[in-house]
Amino acid sequence: MFTGIITDVGRVLSVETRGDTRFTIGTSYDSGGIALGASIACGGACLTVIEKGLAVDDGVPNWFAVDVSAETLSKTTLGSWGEGTELNLERALAFGDELGGHLVTGHVDGLAHLISIRPEGDSHRITIEVPAGLEGYIAQKGSVCLDGVSLTVNEVDDRRFGVNLIPHTWDNTTFRNRKEGDDLNMEVDLLARYVARLMTTKAVPGGK
């Protein structure tokens, strides 16, 4: 589990296509403290560390590697990642950690579309269009995760909604380099997903 609070912006160092696709990602995290098999949210997608290395003198930073299936590549923005792509990173929660955003699983529900970016005071207001079928999971003042970032929904208009990015979020995530027309990995709120399921099935705990 994650919180949607970004703690590093990493960079793809290399992409290797095998049976799956292997991404090597540079990070400021101390890779010596990352266990093989650990989960790291990369651009909002929960990925498993299968290899790692420490920084070396020739400028290569600490790094870790992940394998990604063709299915994941086709359903997320990962298929467009190349050498140099910047990624929002978050390590998995440990018991006792502060829950600063909202509960995030790292399971991408679909690709949202960035419609507009406009300055608003010191912040930036962005308008997002969600994939058809996911609009019912977006609620005003509810939570949504975009490219791994926990954000609060300001307003909703059918399949479009707006969020506000304060200067800290803008400066310390990949949103600073986003442009209109970009796709974003989107994960709906965990509670909204289960409420929608209950409403659909009309399930009654302990009932038949």
pLDDT score at 70: 95
pLDDT score at 206: 57
pLDDT score at 149: 98
Q: Are residues 145 and 87 in the same domain?
A: no
Residue 159 is assigned to a structural domain of this protein:
yes
* pLDDT per residue as tens, the chain (208 positions): 999 999 999 999 999 998 899 999 999 999 999 999 999 999 999 999 999 999 886 678 999 999 999 999 999 999 999 999 999 999 998 877 777 778 899 999 999 999 999 999 999 999 999 999 999 999 999 999 999 999 999 999 999 999 999 999 999 999 999 999 999 999 998 877 777 767 777 655 555 5
pLDDT score at 155: 96
CA distances from 169 to 95, 132, 161 (A): 25, 27, 18
72/78 Cα distance (integer angstroms):
7
E-assigned strands of the chain? 8-17, 21-27, 39-42, 45-53, 62-68, 86-91, 110-120, 123-129, 143-146, 149-157, 160-165, 183-188
* Whether 187 contacts 105, CB under 8 Å: yes
- Which domain range does residue 184 map to? 110-197
Residue 156 is assigned to a structural domain of this protein:
yes
| Token digits of residue 60 | 């290569």
Q: Tell me, what CATH number does 57's domain have?
A: 2.40.30.20
pLDDT score at 153: 97
User: What's the number of domains the chain is made of?
Assistant: 2
pLDDT score at 128: 98
